[in-house]
Amino acid sequence: MPDGSDLTQRVPDARLRLAAATRALVEATTLAPADSDDAALLAATDAIERATAALRDADLTRPGSHHRYRKTYGNYLPNSLLVGTAHPLSPGATYAFADGVLDVRATFGAQFEGPPGYVHGGIVALAFDELFGMCNVCNGQGGLTGRLTVRYRKPTPLRTELRLTAWQDHHEGRRMRVRGTIHAGDVLTAEAEGLFVTPRPETRAEYFGS
């Protein structure tokens, strides 16, 4: 996808349902009070253990099996920690790319909480890193993160649709500088700048193989 024209995530419905159900389970587990009824917790635990065993018995969790989604950039997206519809830890964001700008809409649930009621600062940084990497590929370049600087302007709220935007500020040779912002409504909650470097072929082979 050299021009960012195809951002479609082609994931089977069954895989989407599994990811969505697991995402809901993680949030429900996070919200369960520490003094919850033991019987209810144990019943839920038994059901989770049975489901996990079923996935393992079906040989769906063997090492490397998830790489079937990573053959192209378009197939990488389902496993993105920001926008991946197949990733159970992703908020399942929506996105669009136009005129060199990547626009992502995401709502973070309880499992992403840091300060009470707000998104953890580390998750904010992770979101920028994913956002910037995706922006680079949409612009026709891919690279590894060399530096990421985040400025936290306001606490970023949970359970609120956030607007994340990114654009390439400068590109020269193998180096790309990307900038971006996060807004909750009209409020700027964070902004960031990242430096990305396209690895040389020998470095890419060393890190990722042939």
* DSSP collapsed to 3 states, the chain: CCCCCCCCCCCCHHHHHHHHHHHHHHHHHHHCCCCCCHHHHHHHHHHHHHHHHHHHHCCCCCCCHHHHHCCCHHHHHHHCCCCCCCCCCCCCCEEEEECCEEEEEECCCHHHECCCCEECHHHHHHHHHHHHHHHHHHCCCCCEEEEEEEEECCCCECCCCEEEEEEEEEEECCEEEEEEEEEECCEEEEEEEEEEECCCHHHHHHHHCC
Nearest to 107 by CA among 123, 129, 96: 123
* pLDDT-flagged residues of the chain (< 50): 1-2, 69, 71
What's the domain range around 128? 1-210
Query: Residues 155-204: pLDDT tens digits?
Result: 999 999 999 999 999 988 899 999 999 999 999 999 999 999 998 888 88
- Per-residue model confidence (pLDDT) at position 56: 86
Tokens 């910037």 label which residue? 132
Q: What is the CATH number of the domain that holds 42?
A: 3.10.129.10
Give this prediction's pTM: 0.86
pLDDT of 201:
87
Q: CA-to-CA distance for 34 and 171, rounded, in angstroms? A: 50
Own/partner pairs for 68-77, CB < 8 Å, 24+ apart?
69/11, 72/1, 73/1, 73/137, 73/142, 74/1, 74/6, 74/7, 74/8, 74/9, 74/10, 75/10, 77/7, 77/9, 77/134
Q: How many structural domains are present in the chain?
A: 1
Task: Name the amino acid, one letter, at 79.
Answer: N
Neighbours of 145 (CB within 10 A): 15
